[in-house]
Homo-oligomer: A and B are copies of this chain.
Amino acid sequence: MNHPIDTYKFFFGALANPNRLQIINILRQGKKNVGEICKATGFEQTMVSHNLKVLEHHGMVFMEKQGKYRYYSVNKKTIKPLLEFIDAHMEEYCCKILEKKR
């Protein structure tokens, strides 16, 4: 875990999960607490909490306590441009692949 390769694995591993990506996607609209995320995604609370923990641990979302609520927000500086970057890659190199539902 000090080789740069592990660093990338660490980073991409956190994003290689559709539920975490969906949570990120919801948070792109603005900060939300756990209950709101559950409602918006239809996911169970414990699953959301586990995945938020991973995302937070990777610096991809931030957390802020407010009474008994915990508000999560996406790391806009990093994540937003990253997703846009990938949109461009997918558009150019992967559209055909995706059409035939891999």
Chain A interface residues toward B at CB < 8 A: 1-2, 4-13, 15-18, 21-22, 25, 57-60, 75, 78, 81-83, 85-87, 89-90, 92-94, 97-98, 101-102
* Contact A16 B12, CB 8 Å, known A1-B98, A81-B85, A94-B59: yes
Q: Is chain A's interface secondary structure helix, strand, loop, or mixed overall?
A: helix
Q: Give the docked Cα–Cα distance between A24 and B35 (Å).
A: 40
Question: Across the interface, do A85 and B85 meet the contact criterion of CB distance under 8 Å?
Answer: yes
Q: Give the docked Cα–Cα distance between A93 and B10 (Å).
A: 12
Question: Across the interface, do A89 and B78 meet the contact criterion of CB distance under 8 Å?
Answer: yes
Which residues from B are CB-within-8-Å of A13?
A: 16
Which residues from B are CB-within-8-Å of A98?
A: 1-2, 6-7, 10
